[in-house]
Structure 1
Amino acid sequence: MQIITLGSAPDPYPMPTADIVGNLFNVQSYRTPVQPQAIVPGENTAVWLAVGQSTGACGNDDTQYSVNNPKSQNFNCYDGAIYSADTPTLGCQGFGGNWNSRACDKLIASGGNPFQRVIVAPIGVGGTTIAQWQPTGGVLWQRIVSAKARLDSRGLTPTFITWMQGESDFTTTQAAYAASFADLVSGVRGLGYNMPIFISQTTLQGGVTLPNVRAAQAAAVNNGAGIYAGPDTDTLTGATNRQASGNNAHFTGVGSDACATLWTAAIDAVF
């Protein structure tokens, strides 16, 4: 199911929602866009495209979060406007908190990178497999294509992309996951996106990790090809970090903050 705003013309940038997961999406906003909406010359701005399933690029943790820095911002791929990165973030599935908003603050504050402003564009869909995102037959590939078109329309190009997904691939072999990710990367590069892509090791659900998927994620790292290691988020375990609901996959507020810290370190190591 998708929340829609009625209008006289179809959206030129369709964002498929994989209705099989039965989740609502943050499409339009009651919020006021921030100013300025454009990149400011001389201000080092990171534009971040966040892709994945529920833990990776959605609003699913149990604590809402208001950003500390007004330069922590959220590009909504449904309307092309930039808002504060307060949760719930716009453009993805879910209405809870997330680590993405926290990471915007942490990236600016860390001092380990040159970023003075961070704009996250999250397009995640909960409960999805990697095959649903790949260009070859993937129902969600169009979300990446449309996100690029919407960003292009505002003169924005991602500084980096994060891929955090894997919990739903419990029947996927290492070879199959590797092939799907290679197809995904090829598709992204084919769009003209040559910026760094970070892939995390993310599979934990129900207290169990997926060795085949973890192996594929680790093997995908190739710095020479611009594929960098994100964090091992499977290390964030226990009731402090994970909610009891959602098969123990979703983060608590504490877990989201810890995840944001891990991701900030991984990104800082490259920038």
Structure 2
Amino acid sequence: MLLHGFGLDHRSLLPLEPTFERSGRWRRIYLDLPGATGSPATGIEGSQAVADAVIDAILARVGDGRFAVLGNSFGGMIARYVAHELRSQVLGLATVAGVFVAAHDKRTVPPRTVLKREPGVVPLLGAALEQYREEAVVESADDARAFLQYVVPGLDGADGQALDRIAESYSLDREPEDAHPEPFMQPTLHITGRQDDVVGYSDAWSRIGHYPRASFAALDAAGHNILFEQAGLCSALIADWLTRIRQDG
């Protein structure tokens, strides 16, 4: 089960397809969260409603079957909720640049840093340049092309009014680790970017005691676009997570 970030759609996670292909027979379900391209958001007034809708969507697809869940950014917060609410069915949990503190002003984040500018991205990106540079830490032509292919369509297709409503009530009713304080024992992975000035890295690490079976990684030369900027390391870490789940099975 794969859950994308806020204001995007499932296409932002499609770069992970080769990793899953190489890792064996994994059925992938890419959910478009309420407010994403073509995904209805009637009655959705905040993140808790999104999380509840995701639970319903998962159960409609897998019933009482077992599954693993991976979430990116906002999707990481929702994935944590799913993993704890449906713990008996969950094989493993992974977050990539996941939200661990919903309130932006309460997050611990590093200062905005750009490690590399690439003039060649300017003609490539055109009108999308500003969107790309809002979060890019290490610019490259390959990342710019991936951004155009996988990120921009979701940004353009999002339901802005629905996202505004959700943003007004961005926090869950309770943090999953607080609502279910017993340690989460399934194989877990939390990937963070050392230069991620959107969600940071230390808020995820503050939960390390809750996840005895977790690999935690803070990757250098990576911001919130970590899936592009450190694609190889992310792929290797996710492949290792999938292997650990299979070994537990």
TM-score, normalising length: structure 1 = 0.40
Larger RCO (CA under 8 A, 6+ residues apart): 2
Q: Which has the higher helix share?
A: 2
TM-score, normalising length: structure 2 = 0.43
